[in-house]
């Protein structure tokens, strides 16, 4: 275990097993469709790479760079789109992948933008779902784990840019 980690919340093995289950659920819905997977950088990088490989469907992969935490442990309340251009999704079925649903602001802003761009369907898929009241109406259609409202790192999630490479989800030492 990394020396800055207080405890492991979700192990590599647990992640593997749950991703298999969630992938099967997604396949029930999209097995025969052409899908645009939109990965929200940077947090979703690790999760999405593992999830995409479990989905044997016709797929294109797009990335959107959004930020709302700016390295802090609390949402800034504003979602910034860092790309000049968003992917072309008009008439397409889209599955947005993110690492965590917290206030819901990020997922809400992205889903709204993709709908405005004319996507025929937009669904959300997250690794972690914080059990809390959202700042905006937003729930992910597919969720691997529900967690309490605490700050977590690893498997894509960072603290000031670090710890994304940890293969598990953990809680940081104070």
Q: How far is the CB of 103 from Mg ion (least distance, A)?
A: 12
- Residue 75 sits in the site that holds ligand PRP (CB under 6 A): yes
Cis, peptide link before residue 42, omega less than 30° from 0: yes
- Residue 100 sits in the site that holds ligand PRP (CB under 6 A): yes
Q: How many CB atoms lie within 10 A of CB 30?
A: 19
Token pair for residue 51? 């999830």
C-alpha distances out from residue 77 to 41, 83, 132, 149, Å: 18, 19, 16, 16
Would you give the binding string for Mg ion spanning residues 25-54, x where CB under 5 A is met? ------------------x-----------
CB of 128 closer than 8 Å to CB of 69: no
SS3 label, residue 141: coil
- Residue 156 sits in the site that holds Mg ion (CB under 5 A): no
Q: Which of 62, 145, 158, 159 contacts ligand PRP by CB under 6 A?
A: 158
Q: How far is the CB of 95 from ligand PRP (least distance, A)?
A: 15
Decide if 102 is catalytic.
Answer: yes
Q: Which residues bind ligand PRP (CB under 6 A)?
A: 40-43, 67-69, 75, 98-106, 158
């Amino acid at each position: 275990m990394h020396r800055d980690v207080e405890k492991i919340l979700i192990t590599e093995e647990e992640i593997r097993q749950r991703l298999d289950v969630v992938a099967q659920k997604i396949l029930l819905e999209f097995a025969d469709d052409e899908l645009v997977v939109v990965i929200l950088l940077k947090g979703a990088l690790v999760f999405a790479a593992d999830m995409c490989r479990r989905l044997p469907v016709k797929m294109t992969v797009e990335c959107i760079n959004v930020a709302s935490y700016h390295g802090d442990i609390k949402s800034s309340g504003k979602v910034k789109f860092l790309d000049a251009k968003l992917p072309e999704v008009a008439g397409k079925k889209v599955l947005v992948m993110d690492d965590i649903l917290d206030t819901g602001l990020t997922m809400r802003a992205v889903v709204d933008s993709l709908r405005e761009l004319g996507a025929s369907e937009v669904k959300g898929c997250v690794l972690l779902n914080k059990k809390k009241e959202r700042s905006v109406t937003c729930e992910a259609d597919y969720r691997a784990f529900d967690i309490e409202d605490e700050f977590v790192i690893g498997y894509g999630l960072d603290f000031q840019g670090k710890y994304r490479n940890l293969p598990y989800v953990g809680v940081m030492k104070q």
